[in-house]
Amino acid sequence: MRSFKSIYFLFLLILNIFISSCDNLVDTIVTLYYRDENYMYFIPVTTTMKLNSSLGSVVKEEDLRNILEELKKSKGDLISCIPKSVNIKDLKLDKDKNLLEITLEGNNNKLYDTDEQFLIGSIVNTFTEFSQIKNVLFKLDKLSSEIDYSQPFDRKSWANLWFSADELNENLSLATIYWLTKDKKYFVPITVPIIKNDVVNLIEVLKLGPNKSKKQFLENPINKDIDLKIKAVNMKSIIIEVKSKKNLPLSVVNTAKLAVLYTLVEFGFFENIKIELSEGQVEEFDLIKTNPKQSINRIELFSGAK
Amino acid sequence: MLKKINYLFFIYLLTIFLIKINSFSQNLTEVFDLNYYPDNSVSIKAHKDVKPELFKLENPYRLVIDFPYSVYKPVKKNIDVNNDFIKQIRLGQNTENSVRLTIELKKDIEFEYRSIIEGNFQIITLIPIDNNQVINIDDKKIKENKEKNYLVNLQNNKDSIYIETTRKLDYSTLKENNTLIIKLNETKNKVKNRNIIINPDDFFDEINVSEEKENTIIYISYKNNVNLILNKKDDYKLEIIATAKNKETLSLNIENYDNIDKLSIFNENNKTFKYNIFTLENPSRIVIDIFENFEINNIDSSFIKNSKYIKNMRYGKLQNTDSGVRIVLDVDDNVSYKQDINSNNVLEVSISNAKIKNIQNKPKYTIVIDPGHGGNDPGAIGINGIKEKDITLKVSYFLKDLLTSNGFGVIMARSDDSEILLQPRVDIANLNKADIFVSIHCNATEGQSPMGIETYYRTEQSILLAKFLHKNLINNLPTIDRGIRVRNFYVIKNTIMPSVLIEIGYITNRIEGNRLSTDSYQRDVAKSIFNGIKEYFNYKDKL
C-alpha cells in the first residue's frame, strides 16, 4: 500500500508539472466583425474562444491567427469580409508599438474596391478590440490597390461612418450610437454627428432613428411607444427612463434598453448607468466592474467551438 | 481506507492550488511608487509588459491612465495637490484586474508621456507641457531627464535599416567606398541591440557600432551593386533604404530641324517603358516621367545649344516612387509638343512653335479630372465584361466637355487608354496648382452586388466639394445614396487641393452596370458632377 501511495503521489506531482508547463488556455471573449448583405456596415458579434493568454489578454500571434481563421467563415447571415482569393501570408505583432503587421497575398489580381474596404476594416476592427493592438499595418503581395497603405490604420478610420450630403459639415463632432440591422437581428454601431459631448442630443439622435440615407439600411431600436428620457445626470452617472407607454412585448423594451445601454457605454463618460424600466424596476450597470458590450450580438461559433 | 482517501484528496487539492497560484502569478502584476513632484510631474512604476491606456475626460478635466492586468496593493491612494493646475491625484483598483491613475485637473493642459524600462519594470513619467508659460516647470530638470533617459534603437531587414530614438535625431553622414558612416551626436552607450545579424542575401555586408568620445558611430557596409537612400521619416526616425543599382540605361538624343526640336528617348535594349508627358507653366516646361528603373546616359550639351525651342534640359529621380526618372525640358513660351513611339520603341517628342493655349483666355478655375485605371489595368470588370477603365474615361470626357464649354480649365490625368501610376496623377494636379481634383471610379464587389453612389474625401478642405458633388449625384440619378465617406485613397490623400474620389456606381450590379454602359447615363453622371462643381465654385465665389 505504501508503494501505491508513493506512485500515486508521484503521478500527481508529474501531472502538476505537466499542467503548469502547458500554455494557459483560457476562455476569452472576442468580438468578430462581419458585414451586412448590402456591404454598408460592419456587424460586431461577440463569442468565446479558448486562447493562449498572457497578462489575461490575447497577445500571442497564434491566437490572432486562430481568430483570423474564424473570421474567414461566414455564419448564416453574418458574412465574412475576407475574400477567398486573399491569403493571410504573414502576421507579426510588435508588442512594444502595439502594432500588428499583416501581409495579404493575392494571385496577381485586383481586389474590388468594396471588397477591399470590408476586408481591411473587418481585420482592423476585430484586432483593435484588444488593448495590446492599437494599429494595423498592411502589406500587399501580388495585389494592387488604390488605397495608400504606407501608414498603419487605427480603429477610428474603419468605423461605420457615412454621411448624407445634408449631414456633412466642417467641425463635426461624432459619437457612436447603436441601431439595428434591417432584419432587427443585430445591433450595429453607427457613427453619427452630434452636438459635442451632449448626452441629451445623443439620446435624441438615437431615439429619432436612422435618417433618410441610413433608413434604407438600418432600423430604429426604440419603438415609438417607448418613453425615453434622461431623469438625472452628473459627471459620473446617469439615470435614464426606458418605459413602455403601451403594453409592449418585453423583447421590444429589452431591445430599446440595450440600444441605450450600448450607446451610453460607447459614449465613455459614465461610470454608472441606471435604466428605469417601470416604477420600481431599475437596472444598474457599474461600468467600472462590467462591460455590457462584451455580450453584444452574442453567438456561439459553428465550427471550432472551444 | 478513509484516511488514505482523505490523504490523497488533500494532495489533489494541493496540486490544484499550486496550479492556480502559478496561473494567477502570470496574470496580475503590481503598480507602485506613485510620486508627485513640485514641477507638477507625476511618476509611477509598473511591470514592463503592462500596456497603460491613456485617455482624457472632461467635466472636470481628468487625465486617466489604466493599467490592465495589474493590482495596487494598498487599494487606494489620494494625493491632494490643489495648486493652480492639479486638484488631486488618485490611484486605485479600478476593476479586479485593472488599476486606474486619475489626475484631476483644474484646466485643460497637455502632458508629455515618457516610459523608461528598468529591469522588469517601466517608470512612467507624466510632465505637463508648458504651452503658454503658464506652468512653472523646471526646464533644466526636464532637459536633464530627457538627456539621461533616451535610447537609440537599431533595426534592420533585408533592404533597410532603421535608426530610431526617443529624442530628436542629431546626426551627420559620410559615404566612403561602400560604407555609409553615420555619426549620432551625444549618444554614447545609448544604442541598444548592437549585434545586428546580416544574412548573405541582404543588401548589407556588415553593420558595426562603436563609440567615439560622446558620440556613436555606425558603420554600414553594403554590397557593390547597391544604392543607398537616406530617408528621414521624422525627427525621431531615420531609414536607410538599399536598392539594387540600375542596370539598364536610357539614352536621350536631340535632333534639330528647321522648325522642330526632336527629343528621342530609348532604352539600349529597345525595351518598352511606361511614361507620361505633361506641360507646366511659369516657366514653360515639358515634363516626361519614365516609370522604369533606368540610368540616363549623359547627353552632349551642344545639342541643347542648337535647339530652337529647348532652353535647357534636366533630369533626376522621380520623387515618391521606388524607381523612375523625370526629364524636364525648359522651353519657350507658347510652344507645343507631339509624342510618338516608333517601331523600335523609341519615344519621340517633337517640339514646335504651335501655341499650347491662349494665355489671354486663361480660365479662372482649373480642374484635374482623373479617370480611374487605364492601359493594362482595366480596374473592375462588370457585367457583360464592361471595364471600369473605359467607363471612367468616357464619363471624364463628357465632364471635360461640359467644363471647358463653360469656361473652366481642365487637365486630364489620363487622356487615353494608357496606364498611369497613382503618383503621376497626383503630380499633375499638384504641379499644375489645380483648384480641385476629381477622381472618377466605378465600384464593384465579387459576390452579389449592391448598387449606389459613394463619394470619398480625405481632408477637411475637401468636405464642401464632396458635399456639393454628392448632393447633385444623388438628387439627379436613379440610384441609392451610399453616403459620403472618408478613406485614404492614394490620389485624394496626396493631392494638395480639395479632392474627391467618386464611385459612380456598381458595374457588377446588373441594373447599374447596364446603365453605366450607356452614353446617356454616362452623360447624366457627368452632368451631375458638373453641376456639383459649378455650385461649389459659385459658393466659394460668394464667400
Kindly give the confidence (pLDDT) of every residue in chain B, 543 residues in length, as a single tens digit, with 9 standing for 90 and above: 556 766 766 666 666 555 554 444 446 788 888 888 766 778 888 887 888 888 888 878 888 898 888 888 777 788 888 877 888 899 988 887 888 999 998 887 777 777 777 667 788 888 776 544 333 334 444 444 444 545 677 777 777 888 877 677 777 777 776 788 888 877 776 776 666 777 777 778 888 888 777 788 888 888 777 777 777 767 777 888 777 665 577 788 888 777 888 888 887 777 777 777 888 877 888 888 887 777 776 666 666 777 888 888 888 877 655 567 888 888 888 788 887 777 777 888 888 876 544 334 568 899 999 999 998 889 999 999 999 999 999 999 999 999 999 999 999 999 888 888 999 899 889 888 899 999 999 999 987 789 999 999 999 999 999 999 999 999 999 999 999 999 999 999 999 999 999 999 999 999 999 999 999 999 999 999 999 999 999 999 987
Q: Which residues of B touch A197 (CB under 8 A)?
A: 58-59
- Indicate which of B490, B500, B504, B536 best probes the interface with A, i.e. most A CBs within 10 Å of its own CB: B490
Q: What does the DSSP 8-state code read for residue A292?
A: G
CATH code: domain B249-352 is 2.60.40.3500
Residue pair B440/B392 in contact by the 8 Å Cβ criterion: yes
- Closest Cβ–Cβ partner in A85, A98, A112 for B445: A112
- Closest Cβ–Cβ partner in A39, A57, A169 for B68: A57
Unique residue bearing C-alpha cell 454621411: A163
Give yes or no: B503 in active site: yes
Nearest CA in chain A to B94: A288
> Is the pLDDT reported for residue A40 higher than 90?
yes
Q: How far apart are CA A224 and CA A252, in angstroms?
A: 11
Predicted pLDDT of residue B1: 58
Q: How far is CA A243 from CA A224, A240, A263, A266, B473, in A?
A: 11, 10, 17, 22, 42
Predicted pLDDT of residue B466: 97
B282 φ, ψ (degrees, to nearest 5): 50, 70
Is CATH 3.40.50.720 the classification given to domain B363-542? no
Predicted pLDDT of residue B398: 95
Q: What confidence tens digit (pLDDT) does each residue in A178-206 have?
A: 999 999 999 999 999 999 889 999 999 99
Predicted pLDDT of residue A276: 95
B117 touches chain A (CB under 8 A): no
A183: its cell numbers:
432584419
Predicted pLDDT of residue B145: 47
Residues 49-78 of B with CB under 8 A from A: 49-51, 53, 55, 57-60, 68-69
Per the DSSP assignment, residues forming a β-bridge with B68 are: B98
Residues 335-354 of B with CB under 8 A from A: none
Residue pair A114/A105 in contact by the 8 Å Cβ criterion: no
| Sheet of B226-234, strands arranged across | B152-157, B160-165, B237-244, B226-234
CB atoms within 10 A of CB B460: 12
Q: Where in chain B is CATH 2.60.40.3500? A: 27-141, 249-352
Single-letter amino acid code for the residue at B391: I
Q: How far apart are CA A56 and CA A132, in angstroms?
A: 11
Q: Report which of B470, B439, B481, B467 is spatially closest to residue B539, judged by C-alpha positions.
A: B467
B178: its cell numbers:
561602400
ipTM of this complex prediction, to 2 decimal places: 0.90
Q: Sketch the domain layout of chain A as residue ranges.
A: 21-158, 173-294
B336: its cell numbers:
507645343
B333 φ, ψ (degrees, to nearest 5): -65, 155
What CATH class does B152-244 carry?
mainly beta
Predicted pLDDT of residue B48: 79
Q: How far apart are CA B99 and CA B76, in angstroms?
A: 10
Could you tell me the fold of the domain covering B27-141?
Immunoglobulin-like (2.60.40)
Unique residue bearing C-alpha cell 524607381: B323
Residue pair B414/B393 in contact by the 8 Å Cβ criterion: yes
C-alpha distance from B430 to closest chain A C-alpha (Å): 17
C-alpha distance from A19 to closest chain B C-alpha (Å): 7
Residue pair A61/A17 in contact by the 8 Å Cβ criterion: no
Q: Report which of B53, B187, B192, B185 is spatially closest to residue B117, judged by C-alpha positions.
A: B192
Q: How far apart are CA B212 and CA A213, in angstroms?
A: 66
Per the DSSP assignment, residues forming a β-bridge with A54 are: A57
Q: Which residues of B touch A57 (CB under 8 A)?
A: 68-69
Predicted pLDDT of residue B379: 93
The catalytically annotated residue of B212, B503, B512, B535 is: B503
> For chain B, what is the total number of helices (H) and then of strands (E)?
9, 34
> Does A269 sit within 8 Å of B445, measured CB to CB?
no
> Is the pLDDT reported for residue A108 higher than 80?
no
B108 touches chain A (CB under 8 A): no
Q: How far apart are CA A57 and CA B50, in angstroms?
A: 11
Q: Give Rg (Cα) of chain B.
A: 32
Q: Which residues of B touch A15 (CB under 8 A)?
A: 15
H or E segment and range at residue B468: helix B463-476
Per the DSSP assignment, residues forming a β-bridge with B211 are: B216
In the three-class reduction of DSSP (H, G, I as helix; E, B as strand; rest coil), residue B5 is classed as: helix
Q: What does the DSSP 8-state code read for residue A185?
A: -
Q: How far apart are CA A273 and CA A189, in angstroms?
A: 19
Q: For chain A, give the percent of residues with pLDDT over 90.
A: 60
B466 touches chain A (CB under 8 A): yes
Q: Which residues of B touch A169 (CB under 8 A)?
A: 463
In the three-class reduction of DSSP (H, G, I as helix; E, B as strand; rest coil), residue B109 is classed as: coil
> Does B57 sit within 8 Å of A165, measured CB to CB?
no
Q: How many CA atoms lie within 13 A of A159 on its CB side?
A: 17
List, as one string, the DSSP characters of A43-84: EEEEEEEEEE-BTTB---HHHHHHHHHHHTS-BTTBB--S-T
Q: How far apart are CA B334 and CA B362, in angstroms?
A: 13
> Does A147 sit within 8 Å of B487, measured CB to CB?
yes
> Does A56 sit within 8 Å of B69, measured CB to CB?
yes
- Indicate which of A140, A163, A190, A290 best probes the interface with B, i.e. most B CBs within 10 Å of its own CB: A163
C-alpha distance from B342 to closest chain A C-alpha (Å): 30
Helical H segments across chain A, by residue range: 2-21, 61-71, 113-127, 199-208, 212-215, 250-267
